[in-house]
Structure 1
Amino acid sequence: MVNMKDLFPYGLETPLLTPEDPDEAWGHLYSIKEYMQDGDPIPNDLAQWLDRAITYAEKNPKEFIKQLGLVRRQGRLNSTYAGVDKMKWGRKVYLLIDDERDRGQLTAALKEVASEFSERSENPVGLDENRLRDWYKNYVTARRC
């Protein structure tokens, strides 16, 4: 039986925080600091943002700072998938698979989620299954940490 806390550790109504610039990220950190100083619980959206940064960083301090959004990203800022929650889409594939070793299930899940991405996304390019497979693998890896 699936534990709902595993599927939705921060609740169903938690918006995803994705700071657009370092100032916004610092604002989130200062908010967390204030909650901690007051002895209040950290709101779900802030807790999830911090949790995701810790998970993705995998004990790498530079990656942690990058995941928090405290530095401006270098490279192409107008990346095709900039702003896309890759873990969310990787998780969607994960939830459709009963047996990770069954390639047929994985292929079917990839097709279904890629189709959903194309329907829901404002991204005109769509999503190829190889990129989605990478997002799925990253989700599975982060889940195991």
Structure 2
Amino acid sequence: MDSPMMGQVLPLSLVNDEVFSQGLLGKGLAIIPKDGRVYAPFDGTISVFLESKHAIGIIDGNGVELLIHCGLDTVTLEGKGFISYVKQGDKVKKGDLLLEMDIAYIRSKDLETTTPILVTNSKDYTEVLPTTKEEVQVGEAALSVK
């Protein structure tokens, strides 16, 4: 599946949050974003979109459940620093702009912008493999699910 954002790729094991680094929510990768735009990595349905706008879940037609968690501890911002373009239940096409996060604002609150991208139903698949690239662009392959 394609990357929903551009930035530096980070293995989940290096994410500064045990829930993500230990894979408790699923396998995947993290991206340190270059800009704050988050795009749909595939055609799907928005399954979860919290009022705090910091986390978005999307399911594709094959049942892959992806969580894009924008920043660490950003739930504490209560939606400030985020602009949403979708809501829970919306159908989206690959490449649609889902949300924007204000990287400068998030960092001004001493929070990290590192964005874990997880297949939350990883146990349903034999493999969830992150890209070996150090940086990704929007639309480049980021995760392989088998």
TM-score between both structures, scaled by the size of structure 1? 0.25
Larger radius of gyration, structure 1 or 2? 1
Q: Between Structure 1 and Structure 2, which shows a larger proportion of strand residues? A: 2
TM-score between both structures, scaled by the size of structure 2? 0.25
Q: Between Structure 1 and Structure 2, which shows a larger proportion of helix residues? A: 1
- Structure number with greater CO (CA < 8 Å, separation at least 6) is 2
